[in-house]
Amino acid sequence: MKCINSLLVIALTCIFLCGCAEREVRMPFQIDSSETAFSFETSNENSTVEPFASDLAVPVPDLMPGEEVSQGEDSYGSAVLIDCANKNMMYSRNALATLYPASMTKVLTAIVAVKNASPDQVFTADESCVFTEGDVQKIGLRSGDSMTMDQALHMLLIYSANDVAQLIAVNLGGSTEGFAEMMNKEACAIGATNSNFINPHGLQDENHYTTAYDMYLIFNEAVKYDEIVQVISTVNYSTVYKHADGSEVNFTCDNTNRFLKGLARAPENVNVIGGKTGTTLAAGGCLVMLSKDSGGNNYISCVMRGKSIDVTYGKTAAMLSLVK
């Protein structure tokens, strides 16, 4: 009887520890093996696991050379400067603080657009693309207006047209909500996990936010696409799109980036390629930007919640002075 009881205890213990399901452990732990589920270091190059952030700069405690202004007319909310070639964060202040991105949102909108549409795909506006607010940046889309994805991308990133952002959203996501799901899925894949996007344009919503570090991750992904880099570096743009009745609409705009327009100056050894601005009352002045040094190495900067857009550009120029 004691033997039977002992066997029963052993059997129950095995069931408790191993579970009832018939599952094979594909990579059980072996202390001498370099290829188990618990060991990722190996001398075999073909089985080395590549870390997710191997080609990215990682957040660091605040690095703030010089005197910083945390309040008053020259204050800002967060800022980062990343040396992309060396994956080095050269400047950091409140890099993980969640803030409103305003129209910097459109960088993520552009990524989703180029990944899900061809340049010549035609987008058609519906009623949700008609923006009547007087203080909202727009081209004045009407229901039935149409243009290609390439035209929309230029108006989105150069002129920062909110109605064009909505045009992209409804044509690719079916609705604002559907496109926001695509945006958040893309943000998570990039690693921008401290963000949440509600719309494609960045008009104010308290649940729509990101961080300066996440904007670096998003922008770093965006500049992998040649078509996006080409657009953000364009100073002037002219095109023709169509109304529903087939009549043509001429459109011309200048880039909103002051560095490209000659209204702000970068250090002599820095070449500003382009970026994306963003300004609302709640978000303040925002700017994410790609620049190169004299050797052609990439740098990504981001400033959020500048007290004014002048402060944002001034802070960006000051950070770029760290580039040698």
- The catalytic residue among 78, 92, 106, 138 is 106
Q: Of 38, 57, 59, 58, nearest to 49 (Cα)?
A: 38
| The one catalytic residue among 78, 92, 146, 160 | 160
Q: Is residue 160 annotated as part of the catalytic site, yes or no?
A: yes
191-230: string of b/e by CB count within 10 Å (b at 16+)?
bbebbbbbbbbbbeeeebbbbbbbbbbbbbbbbebeebee
Would you say 121 and 148 are in contact if contact means Cβ atoms under 8 Å apart?
Answer: yes
Buried b (16+ CB within 10 A) or exposed e, 119-132: eeeebebeeebebe
Exactly one of 103, 146, 195, 291 is catalytic; which is it? 103
Q: For this structure, is 106 an active site residue? A: yes
Q: Which of 162, 89, 160, 178 lies closest to 129, judged by CA? A: 162
HSE-CB for 195 with a 13 A CA cutoff: 32
Known active-site residue 2: no
Catalytic sites, residue numbers: 103, 106, 160
